[in-house]
A = this chain, B = another copy of it.
Amino acid sequence: MPADRGRAAGPPTISEVAAEAGVGRATAARTLGGYGYVSPELRERVLAAAEKLGYRTNALARSMSTGVSHTLGVIVADIGNPFFAGVVRGISDTSRARGFDTIVLSTYEDLDEEVAATNVLIDKRVDGVIIASAAVDRTEVAHIKAAMDRGIPVVLVDRAVASLDLDAVVIDNRDAAREAVEVLITAGHRRIGFVWGPPVAQAPATRRGLLTAASRNLWTDGERLRGYLDALDDARIPFDPDLVMVGRKTEERATEEVARMLALPDRITAVFCTETDAVTGALRALRTAGLSCPRDVALIGFDDSSWAAVMEPPLTMIEQPVHQLGAKAAEVLLDTIAGTEPRREMHTLSSRLILRSSVAPPPAGS
């Protein structure tokens, strides 16, 4: 290591590397952080400058060069969702074991809040960011790119964002949904409600319209819808738009929509729920209609919890590896902070269907 570089004491900063290379700071940050596009020629110049100045892309150097130390920032869509609380615990446990503290901001699914939260983390000089973003396309990711341009590595968790070439740690949403709906079909169900679908005002009448709406929705929700359609396709069950909830994604709305599906002439005999609040909404609708689960209506949902296990009946639920999701995201981020080249890939963890007692065959005559 060059002990005397003829410059001010302390390790070189990204700005100094940039100046030495004759490039902008963002270009130097992208090169040294290992993300985003940098032309081979500029990349070469930055790396040569970094080597000459003795710039080391490890946690210590990074911390000193940016004046920060050992804090990860986490942005989640809703800390009130036990799923995200579990992910945050996984991030926290893993980062703590490697000497990092974790600060959390919750955006409550509001993109403006997400932009503000990202700015707070940049301002607070965190070493890296893990984000479950509400962004669905390239017009909504400028804030994430801004963090990256400042040399702050970013890892996505739970939700991939198509236009961002970043490491993303997710679960097998499509397979999980498909397996759950297959269990319902195997039990004999053909009228299976899907709660919830894309937040559009009107249910698209066609399957194609539905998939287009889903592609403008959160990645996780779209994947779960695709898994539902996969299972119907495999069983040659025609898609019926009446059985897909659209609109605002709230427990109240899930209650209304399941009530509507229960009032159809050819009513649902099963329901597949993609969120905890969709499950409680569906159960509320069943109770109000005087129907019982699983005798009248079978149910499977995301996410498993202690409550689901002690319900009467105990609910068949999909368990996401929440702690592992957070732990893996923290690992990938901390490795990047420590100087490992990001792999920029989708890390897909497996969920598990916990079979309990909320699935039975449809009532006779239905």
**Which positions in A face B, CB cutoff 8 Å?**
69, 71, 79-82, 85-86, 88-89, 92, 96, 101-106, 108, 113, 116-117, 120, 123-124, 251, 277, 280, 283-284, 287, 305-307, 309-312
Say yes or no: A287 contacts B306, CB within 8 Å. no
- Residues on B with beta carbons closer than 8 Å to the beta carbon of A88: 79-80, 106
Q: For the complex, what is the distance from the CA of A237 to the CA of B332, rounded to whole Å?
A: 58
List of B residues within 8 angstroms of A86 by Cβ = 80
Residues of B within 8 A of A113 (CB): 96
User: CA of A307 to CA of B284 in the docked complex: distance in angstroms?
Assistant: 10
Interface pair B104/A106, CB less than 8 Å apart: yes
Given contacts A88-B106, A124-B124, contact A284 B312 (CB under 8 A): no
In-complex Cβ contact of A284 among B120, B284, B287, B309 (8 A): B309
Output the nearest chain B residue to A110 by Cβ-Cβ distance: B96
A85, B80: Cβ atoms under 8 Å? yes
Q: A284 vs B309: C-alpha distance in the bound complex, in angstroms?
A: 8
Q: Which residues of B contact A69 (CB under 8 A)?
A: 123
Q: In the assembly, how many copies of this chain are there? A: 2
Asked whether B104 lies within 8 Å of A103 as measured between CB atoms, the reply is yes
Report, nearest first, the 3 A-B pairs whose CB atoms are least far apart.
Answer: A307-B307, A80-B85, A280-B306
Which of B104, B283, B287, B311 contacts A79 (CB under 8 A)? B104
CB within 8 A of A310: which of B79, B89, B280? B280
Give bound CA distance, A89 to B81, whole Å.
11
> Nearest Cβ in chain B — how far from A279, in angstroms?
9
Partner among B120, B277, B283, B307 whose Cβ is within 8 Å of the Cβ of A101: B120
Q: Once bound together, how far apart are the Cα atoms of A86 and B86, in whole Å? A: 16
Residue of B whose beta carbon sits closest to that of A119: B101
Q: Which of A81, A88, A251, A306 has the most CB of B within 10 A?
A: A306
A89: chain B residues within 8 A (beta carbon) = 79-80, 106, 108
In the bound complex, CA of A113 to CA of B95 (Å): 13
Residues of B within 8 A of A305 (CB): 307
Question: In the complex, which residues of chain B have a beta carbon less than 8 angstroms from the beta carbon of A251?
Answer: 306
> Are B117 and A101 in contact, with the CB atoms below 8 A?
yes
Give bound CA distance, A69 to B307, whole Å: 41
8 contacts between A and B (CB under 8 A): A80-B82, A82-B82, A92-B108, A101-B105, A101-B120, A102-B105, A284-B310, A287-B310
14 new A-B contacts, CB < 8 A, other than A101-B105, A102-B106, A103-B105, are A71-B120, A79-B79, A79-B88, A80-B82, A82-B82, A85-B85, A88-B106, A96-B113, A103-B120, A103-B124, A124-B124, A277-B306, A280-B310, A287-B310
